[in-house]
Amino acid sequence: MKTKNTTPAKQIAAREKALAMAGGQADYSFDFNLSSDNRFSYGACVIHNGKIFLVCGDRTDTLDINAIDEFRYVNNIGCAAIEYTVGGEDYELCRSDMKNAVAMQIAVKMMTAVKEGRTVVNNELVVCPKCGRTLKPGATVCLNCINKKLLFMRLLPYAKPYAKQLTFAAVLFILISAINVLLPVLYKKLINNFITADDPNTTGFLLLIGAITLCGLVIAVAQMVRQIITAKTSNNILVKLREVLYAKIQELSLAGITRRSAGELINRITSDTMVLKDFLVGLFPELIQQALIIIGVFAVMLIFNWKLTLIILIPVPLLILMFSSIRKYTHRMYHRQWHTESDLGTILYDVFSGMRVVKVFGTEKKEEARFNKYARRVADISQRNERTWNLIVPFANFLLGIGEYAVILIVGKNILNNGGMGLGDLIQFISYVGIIYGPIRWMAYVPRRIAQTATSLAKVFEIIDEKSDVAETDKPIEKQIHGDIEFKNASFGYNAYEYVLKNINLEIKNGEMVGFVGRSGVGKTTAINLIMRLYDVSAGQISVDGIDIRKYSQHTLRSQIGVVLQETFLFHGTIYSNIAYAKPDATKEEVIRAAKLANAHEFIMRQPDGYNTYVGDRGYTLSGGERQRIAIARAILRNPRILILDEATASLDTETERQIQDAINRLISGRTTIAIAHRLSTLRNATKLVVFEKGMIEEVGTHEELMRSGGRYYKLVMAQRQMSKLIKNK
């Protein structure tokens, strides 16, 4: 069964030609399908190594991006175009209907990024350079083009530590198989020499029955031991796979993790590793064992009667051809099923995490309908996949049965015509047919399981192979930091074509309290994320104590930074464990001291179990202000050299805020403190204020200096004062 390819042949040819012009590599590629006079003309464009390779019909062009002054995306009526300017003259690069509009918009932004010397990473739309398929967001591997043989080979080292156990299990299986091959011979003797004999020997009959019984006992014991060994080994391999994958996810940068949904990551750690474990200790060994059975029994049958043996094997080439023809289709089937199941997991994670919001807005029925929609989609795809196999496998079994029916016909006629074969011979040969057809029928299900395994393999190794955007140097620095921070022409963008921060130059001395001020979305939180090295700058440098932070060990750097984020997160556990999370080896006295400094001790002691009170999922049993004070205590416990407060007092009432501010004022002595607050009055005592606007620093100074200058900060303060007056008057 082959799926219909809906991509026009001319479009595919244009892709291949453009890719060949680029040397077989592409940083980005897209299709277009109109000429400048709006006639259909299939074309493709590949961006690679600072050049544009374009094919449209018989036209081919190679353009140097750096030689072009400007790129523009133009939205026309019913179509879109990319235009560029060279030496004051405007030209059209390509044109398409709206189907390719998004890809063309991204291409313009990426070409602009290349021209400006920015690194092209984290594309919003990733296209496989080989087949031209658009990959799902977060994916970096095309399942259609990946070398699946190499993927399967990469899985074998995970079974290597358990080679002895698996080998012993295989030996037991071979023993079981050998006994199963022997049993038809014993049955033949039982029938020919005793059951159908004119004068059977009772002693021989009993001995033969005993031998058959002993064979059954050995098979039962061997199967029991084999299953125990396999179960233990499979669990060890599963744990190892999950440990490796979880550790790799922990190593990824924040950008690498957020590119994928939580449900998708959970699916890879749980379901995909289970599939790989089943392959290593189930499918793969059994595949080898069943192949050995086929070879062994086939040899015995050839010796017994080679003509009948060949008759039995007539349907096998047809089966191989049939399953080979649907191999790629089955891989795509299970790829779609994996993604729909992942989407369903994401919905469950989102709803359970945000259940309070669901309840508050009364959207239970809406979420139920959304879940049912995705659950139905998973069921439909699963049903479609199962229907495909349920149509194929019974037909395959029927083909195999033809050989069996032919053997029964030929041997039966031989017996009826006294052709030299007895009833025992028929039973023996039919038993061998059953033994050899068992593995062949089992193998009819192998392509489906291999397709599932290949999908899970690609998803797991996609994570394992991914290089972190925030990588450690070969010899990272591990030392106590002083706390001096400097931004030197630092620029950063969450994608390749748009900067959030541009050419930031800022010096923060140890012991200073610096306030980051500005409207929402101007880059304040991004700046503190860069200091914590959750992301690396796209250009320029950030240094701590005069050393580029990229040279520090990430653990060393972050272990000396205390953070209270805008979104307070508490783990499911006790208040004590949440505070001690920042310093697991902290003493009880240190935890209580941190809670007191954060003004949290009193409300903690009012809880039923004090510090041993469970906070519930995400701390839902506590108020917003209580959660935030615990987060502040957690930051204080670390005794950081750099303290970062991102809206740390946002959820507190006025009286508690004053008390927290007093605690913070005591804490900032001797350490660098960076605070973000929309309530500007909380930053009045800052050493200096840094005002951000449109990703750049617009003003720097003390509260009094900035108020006198009458600039952006002055306008923000006056706007807040006016808003406060309006609220009071109401």
- Give the list of residues 6+ apart from residue 663 with CB closer than 8 angstroms, or none: 597, 598, 599, 632
Please check the confidence at residue 53 and state whether its pLDDT lies above 60.
yes
Q: Out of 3-17, 403-417, 480-494, 667-681, which region has the weakest mean confidence (pLDDT)?
A: 403-417
* Residues 716/679, Cβ–Cβ less than 8 Å: no
* Residues 667/513, Cβ–Cβ less than 8 Å: no
* Residues 301/379, Cβ–Cβ less than 8 Å: no
Please check the confidence at residue 82 and state whether its pLDDT lies above 80.
yes
Confidence of residue 486 (pLDDT cuts 50, 70, 90): very high
Q: What is d(CA 322, CA 399) in angstroms, rounded to the nearest whole number? A: 11
- Buried-state track 374-404, b at ≥16 Cβ within 10 A, e below 16: beebbeebeeebeebbeebeeebeebbeebb
Q: What is the mean pLDDT of the chain?
A: 78
What's the CATH number of domain 148-465, 1.20.1560.10, 3.40.109.10, 3.40.50.300, 3.40.50.1100?
Answer: 1.20.1560.10
Q: What is d(CA 203, CA 354) in angstroms, rounded to the nearest whole number? A: 77
| Model pLDDT, residue 729 | 61
Q: What is d(CA 446, CA 393) in angstroms, rounded to the nearest whole number? A: 11
Q: What is d(CA 43, CA 58) in angstroms, rounded to the nearest whole number? A: 10
Q: What is d(CA 514, CA 504) in angstroms, rounded to the nearest whole number? A: 15
Per-residue model confidence as pLDDT tens digits over 192-213: 777 776 677 778 888 888 888 8
Pairing of strands 672-676, 642-646: parallel
- Give the list of residues 6+ apart from residue 538 with CB closer than 8 angstroms, or none: 118, 119, 491, 492, 493, 499
Token pair for 125: 């739309």
Same fold, 9-115 and 148-465: no
Beta bridge partners of 79: 97
How many CA within 13 A on the CB side of residue 599?
A: 20
Q: What is the CATH number of domain 9-115?
A: 2.30.29.30
Token pair for 195: 């059951």
| Model pLDDT, residue 159 | 81
- Let me know how long the chain is: 730
Confidence of residue 381 (pLDDT cuts 50, 70, 90): confident
- Buried-state track 327-346, b at ≥16 Cβ within 10 A, e below 16: eeebbebbbebbbbbbbbbb
What's the CATH number of domain 474-560+678-730, 3.40.630.40, 3.40.50.300, 3.40.50.2000, 3.90.1150.10?
Answer: 3.40.50.300
Domain ranges of the chain: 9-115, 148-465, 474-560+678-730
| Model pLDDT, residue 122 | 42
Q: What is d(CA 18, CA 334) in angstroms, rounded to the nearest whole number? A: 31
Q: What is d(CA 201, CA 208) in angstroms, rounded to the nearest whole number? A: 11
Q: Phi/psi zone of residue 46: left (φ > 0), alpha (ψ -120 to 50 degrees), beta?
A: beta
Q: What H or E segment, with its residue span, contains residue 85?
A: strand 79-86
Rounded (10°) CA dihedral 212, 213, 219, 225? -160
Per-residue model confidence as pLDDT tens digits over 274-292: 888 888 777 777 777 777 7
Count the Cβ atoms, other than its own, within 10 Å of residue 410. 16
Q: Out of 487-491, 556-560, 615-619, which region has the weakest mean confidence (pLDDT)?
A: 615-619
pTM of the model: 0.64
Per-residue model confidence as pLDDT tens digits over 504-551: 999 999 888 898 988 888 888 889 989 988 888 888 999 999 999 999
SS3 125: coil
User: Radius of gyration of the chain from Cα atoms?
Assistant: 35
Please give the average per-residue pLDDT across 320-338, as a whole number: 65
